[in-house]
Structure 1
């Protein structure tokens, strides 16, 4: 499994009251979806923020196929863009990875 996937999405921000372009990096190993104001800022390591994926719930907007949410720690992040299917697919793979990791830990504890 690849450890990193990246691409553009828009993120809803309450501060700016609208959709803001962001460059996202999904790191399976760290369990983080980090975001940057641009790909150039990502290359320079200037992260704007991140969303922890462990325990997160992804919601798909039934009326708008380009919009989805990630809810974690009682906070909901709103995203929009063509990368949605890839993020959801990747998160599902990440979730399966976590479940496999959990099964391995449970097996080790019972041995």
Structure 2
């Protein structure tokens, strides 16, 4: 996926438009689409970052690697933001799936999945809210906005269910490994010990 997003630069320049490209689990940005060949200005690994959405500003999303890196982004509309969020979430899921068994052994995997699950839950609530408002619009039913929100809702539901299933598998795996590690086996009583006790009883 690729397109224009507003990126927070600093307090002097504020929000500036940048051209973003999401490819192979990496979100890269360029000054403009025309300057893509000149190399990216920065990038962030989707797998490593937390994706946060604002409950107030429905166009904003923050990508954060705690203690290392952050990107504060805004889309032109809430629908565009939802498209980016679904694409980013799908990219995270694809990276985890490629890792296979290594993912199941990573103690941070369950935490990451829970974070993704919360993100999709927030998205579902916002999309349902958009559909509800479109249906109750004073000027009549907003068909175009409702169609877009409904389409995105379906995609988000599918991703939410898939992430929930992965979260449950990770949770079951963690519980199984914890149970195994906590099990202790008593040493067997050898015949030699029994014989020693019987001999000591005779003397």
- After TM superposition, the score normalised by the length of structure 1 is 0.78
Larger relative helix fraction:
2
Cα drift, residue 97 of structure 1: 0.8
Q: Which has the higher contact order (CA 8 A, sep 6+)?
A: 1
Aligned counterpart, 1:34:
28
Q: Which structure has the larger Rg over C-alpha atoms?
A: 2
Deviation at residue 100 of structure 1 after TM alignment? 1.2
Counterpart for residue 95 of structure 1: 92
Give the TM-score normalised by structure 2.
0.45
Alpha-carbon RMSD across the aligned residues, in angstroms, is: 2.0
What is the distance in 2 between the residues matched to 1:106 and 1:62?
Answer: 30
Alpha-carbon distance change, 71 to 89 in structure 1, aligned in 2, over 3 angstroms: same
Return closer, same or farther for 1:85/1:49 CA change in 2, 3 Å cut-off.
same
Choose between structure 1 and 2: higher strand proportion.
1
Unaligned runs of 5+ residues in structure 2 are 105-203
Q: 1:71 aligns with which of 57, 64, 87?
A: 64
Map 1:9-48 → 2, pairs under 5 A: 9-14=5-10, 16-27=12-23, 29=24, 31-42=25-36, 44-48=37-41
Structure 1: how far apart are the matches of 2:101 and 2:3?
32
